[in-house]
Amino acid sequence: MDTTRLTQKSAFEWWLEASPPMRVPGILYANEALLREMDDKVLEQMANVASLPGIVQAVYAMPDAHWGYGFPIGGVAAFREDDGVVSAGGVGFDISCGVRTMHTGLTVEDIEPIKEDLAQGLFRHVPAGVGSIGKIHLEPAEMDAMLQGGAEWAVKQGYGRPEDLERIEEHGRMEGARPELISLQAKRRQADEMGTLGSGNHYLEVQQVTEVFDTRVAEAFGVAVGDVLVSIHSGSRGLGHQVATDYSRQMVEAAHKYGLELADLELACAPIQSEEGQAYLGAMRAAINCALANRQILTHLAREAFAYLLPRADLRLIYDVSHNTAKLEEHLIEGKPQRLYVHRKGATRAFGPGHPALPEAFRAVGQPVLIGGTMGTASYILVGTPEGEARSLSSSCHGAGRAMSRHQALKQWRGKELVRELGQRGIIVRSPSPRGVAEEAPGAYKDVTAVVDAAHAAGLSRKVARLEPLICIKG
């Protein structure tokens, strides 16, 4: 990226000043090295988003930002409820993709002796890969119940425990879902895909806590050095993808109908208060429930695999947070509370201390912000800050962020070699697809530590713990 187009406000804050047709500035949080790695298309896409009607304050880019479909991944934009727009491209193709992390009640010493067996057990028990299917088949009525009920539905079906629900955004069930506005094609694609990881950067990891940066917050989250955790990164699978496809197409027409100028067709949108805008929101909320139910079932499968080898294990959910959503939230804009639809695409909600939506257990310290690494690299747990509200509408990064295309990665790495190299470093990777492993090579991503350090330094969220992988089941 050409940083001369930006005004540097501090070591970690850079502005793309608002010039017509932009209505608000673009604010990027990153260090100079991360910015230089970013494509200029990120700025172009930020300027396009900043030009949409009803946008407030600024369009934001997190330190892991890279260019995406219409709207940068690692982007945040909020629109007024009355005269703003909603965009399917602003949420992305994997609606409600997110991370959940569980404690296992075990330490590294418990895992080491049976690590190979555990990897094999998890790999056999948790479906992974493109088009992977599970043991659950949803008939139409059950599909609608799932889309309406989310993780709450999953728990009622016997996947997990009622106490899991308090540790999930929206208590595991997104209100306002409209399953009837999801196409039959989307439902058909999902019928056999519940409880599957999917592909790409999705995974299930067994991790050890190697460093704690903030003891007080770590205690509130229940993690300490040497603890073994399980993290799941997955989303709404074929259904979310189809919803995004269906509504992106529909929004091109809606934008035309309502006289919205589109700098890029991929940024198709509709007024929030229009029939089309409301239809997308209802369908998107149903897709959020699909992702929440999916991660809940995956949790159940992980528990079963652990119970078989380690009966002492007790997988307790720490938190589940999505990073591809558009949600109605109240934020302070110029000192006044306003109801806004906040698009976070590859950006994690990061509510600070005292937010009423947070579970009692950590309301005093702030929301856990779960940052996934890439195979063989660290993951982080951060916490939302009070200052994050004004800086980024309480949002932070979501992961390392790609630095290289999948195509480029395939030319540079071989999946089998990567698995062997990681194995030598004590990280067991199991994947149905060597090609998928090559596409997701750690070297194809930015340095997650640099990303997290930038989010920390910019005050978007603060570091709590560093996690290193032991086992990675890769989609």
Partner DNA sequence: ATGTAC
Rounded Cα distance between 283 and 303, Å, is: 30
Q: Is 203 annotated as a binding residue?
A: yes
Structure tokens at 181: 């506005």
Residue 412 CB, nearest approach to DNA (Å): 16
Judged by CB, which is closer to DNA: 84, or 127? 127
Bridge partners, 380 (sequence order): 371, 466
Residue 193 CB, nearest approach to DNA (Å): 6
Rounded Cα distance between 377 and 192, Å, is: 31
Q: Is 48 annotated as a binding residue?
A: no
Judged by CB, which is closer to DNA: 211, or 266? 266
Q: Is 355 annotated as a binding residue?
A: no
C-alpha closest to that of 404 among 446, 372, 374: 446
Judged by CB, which is closer to DNA: 84, or 98? 98
Q: Is 89 annotated as a binding residue?
A: no
Q: Is 235 annotated as a binding residue?
A: no
Residue 339 CB, nearest approach to DNA (Å): 30
Q: Is 32 annotated as a binding residue?
A: no
Q: Is 174 annotated as a binding residue?
A: no
407 among known catalytic residues: no
Residue 400 CB, nearest approach to DNA (Å): 11
Judged by CB, which is closer to DNA: 121, or 415? 415
Contact 330, 338 (CB under 8 A): yes
Judged by CB, which is closer to DNA: 91, or 212? 91
Rounded Cα distance between 452 and 100, Å, is: 18
Cβ-based neighbour number of residue 275 at 10 Å: 11
C-alpha closest to that of 41 among 193, 266, 321: 266
Residue 464 CB, nearest approach to DNA (Å): 24
Structure tokens at 104: 């296992």
Rounded Cα distance between 47 and 45, Å, is: 5
Structure tokens at 245: 């496809």
C-alpha closest to that of 450 among 61, 39, 63: 63
Judged by CB, which is closer to DNA: 326, or 393? 326
Judged by CB, which is closer to DNA: 238, or 373? 238
Residue 94 CB, nearest approach to DNA (Å): 4
Using CA of residue 301, residue 192, residue 135, residue 293, what is the dihedral sign? positive
Give the angle 29-32-34 at the CA atoms, nearest 5°. Answer: 70
Residue tagged active-site, from 66, 398, 407, 456: 398
Contact 381, 354 (CB under 8 A): no
C-alpha closest to that of 46 among 13, 23, 79, 12: 23
Contact 92, 85 (CB under 8 A): no
C-alpha closest to that of 76 among 15, 27, 31: 27
Q: Is 156 annotated as a binding residue?
A: no
Q: Is 399 annotated as a binding residue?
A: yes
Using CA of residue 256, residue 258, residue 259, residue 261, what is the dihedral sign? negative
Rounded Cα distance between 225 and 57, Å, is: 40
Rounded Cα distance between 379 and 55, Å, is: 32
Site residues (vs DNA, CB under 7 A): 69, 93-94, 97, 129-131, 185, 189, 193, 198-202, 235, 237-238, 241-242, 406, 433, 435-436, 440, 475
Residue 238 CB, nearest approach to DNA (Å): 3
Residues carrying an active site annotation: 398
Annotated binding site: 94, 201-205, 233, 323-324, 372-375, 379, 398-401, 474
Residues tagged in the binding site annotation for Mn(2+): 94, 202, 233, 323
Query: Binding-site residues for GMP, please?
Result: 201-205, 323-324, 372-375, 379, 398-401, 474
